[in-house]
Amino acid sequence: MQKYLWPISAMMAAVLAGVALMVSPFAMHLNRAGGAWSHATEAMFWSGLFMVVLGMASGGLWQRDLANQVRTAEARIHPVPERPEPTADDTTAETAVEDNWDRELAKLAEAVLEDLRAETVRTGGNYRAEELEKVASALLRDLPEQKSSRTESGRGGGFA
């Protein structure tokens, strides 16, 4: 990969030199008073443009070659592993983890519901708090339904 460092850096330097060559006649005020370009301005501008185009084209070719080599190296270094088939033990472990998540989610929903009820009492029946309380209550009602629909489908993974 180091063999690409100097060519790409040199091409970028050539592009920058070309841009500087294109801009320099205007920065040094080499044009005539009437706005027409002098011979020096034309020569410097078109030479700089040629350097920019040549540097961009050759730098692009070097970068394309570098990208191809990186892609082939990644394919050799990181082969795609095959996924093993899940066993019955894995399925029961997934179900136990999901049940744990359901319990934690239920605790969280109950805590939110208690906080919303306390906030509703404190603010005197705020409309938003009442709506949030309805959402939290619906979440608590839906948790057992999700659990039963998951076990009925025969799969332990994912939510219904």
Number of Cβ within 10 Å of residue 112's Cβ equals: 16
- CA dist 150 and 160 (Å) reads 6
> Is-contact 45 25, C-beta < 8 A?
yes
What single letter denotes the amino acid at residue 80? Answer: V
- CA dist 10 and 3 (Å) reads 12
* Rg from Cα positions in the chain: 34
pLDDT over 60 (residue 154) = no
- Indicate the DSSP class of residue 125: S
* Residue whose pair of structure tokens reads 């109950």 in the numeric block: 110
Supply the pTM of this predicted model.
0.44
Q: If you average pLDDT over residues 57-65, what whole number do you get?
A: 92
List the helix and strand counts (H, then E) for the chain. Answer: 4, 0
From residue 9, alpha-carbon distances to 13, 25, 47, 89, 153 in Å are: 6, 25, 20, 56, 60
Tokens of 57: 């084209």
pLDDT at residue 48, rounded to an integer:
95
pLDDT over 50 (residue 149) = no
Which of 58-62, 132-136, 148-152 shows the lowest mean pLDDT across its residues? 148-152
- CA dist 143 and 149 (Å) reads 10
